Structure 1
């Protein structure tokens, strides 16, 4: 019999897990936090839409590149020190962005924010997976719960604070991340440095593994469509700050519900690959609807909110699949995967702005739909790897093992959970 996703084992977590999960909520708020204020930034700072979308580009591209060094840093400083360093950078640069008077300044400080975000994201997932009770799948659900709650609450908070001033959302993140920083410093135990620190080239070398590269390229193309919608659709909507906040709250709410409650059910019923194929095709169709009906605000609102369901499913199953197919340590897999996917997410909004200004609003969304269709094709090339990973996870669940393969077992060193799993012979 399947245990409830929210059974005692999942809810009874160490304080360290809850502290990191709370920080994840605030971190993921930053994704949707700026959406309601994008048009306001454009008008109040005399910036074009493409200039405003650089808030996403600088943030995500720096996050992507910085992902390449997160494993090198965390293996030398330890997981806790890396988390704290990332949170400190987010606090500082979010505050500086709120204090800036120019769009160029905000874009630059968002880049620094992205550096802190990279250190935090790559390490937080490994800490939760390595420390949480309830097994590997339960830890992924817990992580995606934090992601969903953060994404859902971000637009609402952005609307409330943005109605006071466009600076409000930036200062709000600064204050909340300070709380997360204190909680992490107090409740996450010190983690020892690994005996053999990862070389700087580890994430790039990890991409030689077909499974990890396939998932990364799939995510790059998917994120092109996702962040085209997220970063540019507020402009053709022509809604107020509160209206945009409500739309993206509905979107984020579906992300949370479908990532936590629906994705695991679909995974057990149909498996990773078939679910993702259908999910990507439906998302491509939604982007095509947006492209065909950019002048219809009701259509845009319905399509954006409905996209939250598909994005929630994709986030959970893709994150789980990456950890299953990659024959390397989790921090290295997370860094390599993050590098590729955030490149797509970072470039897409800026490209959308430029294309819309030159060729019309519809073209970026048609391009996004095509990218998501290509993502389904790339994913199909790794079908056998995903099927094998699903089989290992099924065996692990049946035997109540904490992870689906030897390489996913965690070590305990000095009483503290290690975020660096034992290497397998395939490494």
Structure 2
């Protein structure tokens, strides 16, 4: 009995949603454990620190100093913010979410292919990075809304699960890209990323009937923003 006269509640008796989020967190930590040990070897082959290897791939072919890389990714961040806040909502007024994704993802794949082909040209690579920010900003908003509307789970749970998967991919991508560069050259990581995006595009295209729900439901902007904040903090 509890101090208030009610029956004791076991910590193990949790809703399935809680266990789903816990499992996603365990997988994320396992991913970090698998990735971190190989960072020093990759960093040595690239003449970089493990932290640099972990943060991103594109700074290496750019060859810029700290300020140059900072300004490049400042531009990327501004581009992403602009399209996330203003462009994506405008597109969603006229187009279904799956349609926006099917239009944006191939453009992102093209951007990555161009970046891979022109990887030796720093100016062209900077342009591709900023264009990628514009496209990723659209995807960031559309994917977040889609996740919120794809399930009946509480929005904080949906957002937390989405964040776990997203951050696991973000943790694995830089060392994988660095390994591909070391093994096959600087163009291959961009082509590999483009191919993965095309797979995602095909998945959405052929699974569009299963995703019909996300096109039918309108997201509540206030609830969505709160859910994303809770999910990112989880």
| TM exceeding 0.5 | yes
The answer (yes or no) to whether the contact 2:98–2:215 under 8 Å persists in 1 is no
C-alpha separation between the residues in 1 aligned to 2:215 and 2:223? 12
Find the counterpart in structure 1 of residue 131 from structure 2. Answer: 306
For the residue of structure 2 that corresponds to 1:232, the secondary structure is: coil
Corresponding residue to 1:345 among 157, 170, 175: 170
Give how far 1:385 is off: 4.6
- Quote the Cα distance in structure 2 between the aligned partners of 1:384 and 1:205: 28
Partner Cα separation in structure 2 for residue 231 and residue 340 of structure 1? 18
CA 205–390 in structure 1, closer or farther in 2 if over 3 Å, else same = farther
CA distance in 2, matches of 1:250, 1:273: 27
If the length of structure 2 is used for normalisation, what is the TM-score? 0.70
Q: Whole-Å Cα distance in 2 between the matches of residues 380 and 327 of structure 1?
A: 23
Which residue, 148, 154, 170 being the options, matches 1:329? 154
Which of 305, 314, 320 aligns to 2:145? It is 320
Q: Structure 1 residues 205 and 345, CA, compared in 2 at 3 Å: closer, same or farther?
A: closer
Alpha-carbon distance in 2 for matches of 1:292, 1:259: 27
Cα offsets for 1:177-209 (capped at 9, x unmatched): xxxxxxxxxxxxxxxxxxx85455233899xxx
Pick 1 or 2: higher relative contact order, CA cutoff 8 A, min separation 6: 2
| C-alpha distance after superposition, 1:373-401 (max 9, x if no partner) | 1111122244235443332218x89xxxx
Partner of 1:24: none
Could you say which residue in structure 2 is the equivalent of 1:253? 78
Aligned length: 184
2:202 pairs with 1:202? no
Match of 2:46 in 1: none
Aligned partner of 1:264 in structure 2 is: 89
Runs of 4+ in 1 over 4 A off after TM superposition: none
Structure 2 unmatched runs, 5+: 1-12, 25-52
Task: Report the Cα distance in structure 2 between the residues aligned to 1:374 and 1:202, rounded to whole angstroms.
Answer: 25
2:201 corresponds to 1:376 = yes
Report Cα offsets for 1:11-51 as digits up to 9, x if no partner.
xxxxxxxxxxxxxxxxxxxxxxxxxxxxxxxxxxxxxxxxx
Length-normalised TM-score, structure 1: 0.40
SS in 2 for 1:295: coil
Stretches of structure 1 lacking an aligned partner (at least 5 in a row)? 1-195, 207-227, 405-409, 411-418, 420-427
Q: Per the alignment, do residues 205 and 347 of structure 1 end up closer, same or farther by CA in structure 2, a change over 3 Å counting?
A: closer
How far does residue 336 in structure 1 lie from its aligned partner after superposition?
2.2
Q: Distance in 1 between matches of 2:185 and 2:83?
A: 33
CA contact (8 A) 1:272 1:387 kept: no
Q: For residues 296-334 of structure 1, give each alpha carbon's deviation from its aligned partner in whole angstroms, at most 9, with x where no partner exists.
A: 111101100111110100001100110001121122212
Alignment partners' CA distance in 1, 2:111 and 2:63: 19
8 A contact 1:393–1:403 mirrored in 2: no
Matches within 5 A, 1:11-50: none
Alignment of 1:13-412 (within 5 A): 197-198=14-15, 200-203=18-21, 231-393=56-218
For 1:238 and 1:300, locate their aligned partners in 2 and report how far apart those are by CA, in whole Å.
11
CA distance in 2, matches of 1:297, 1:328: 45
Q: Identify the range of structure 1 (312-321 vs 351-360) with the bigger mean alpha-carbon deviation.
A: 351-360
Q: CA RMSD in A?
A: 2.8
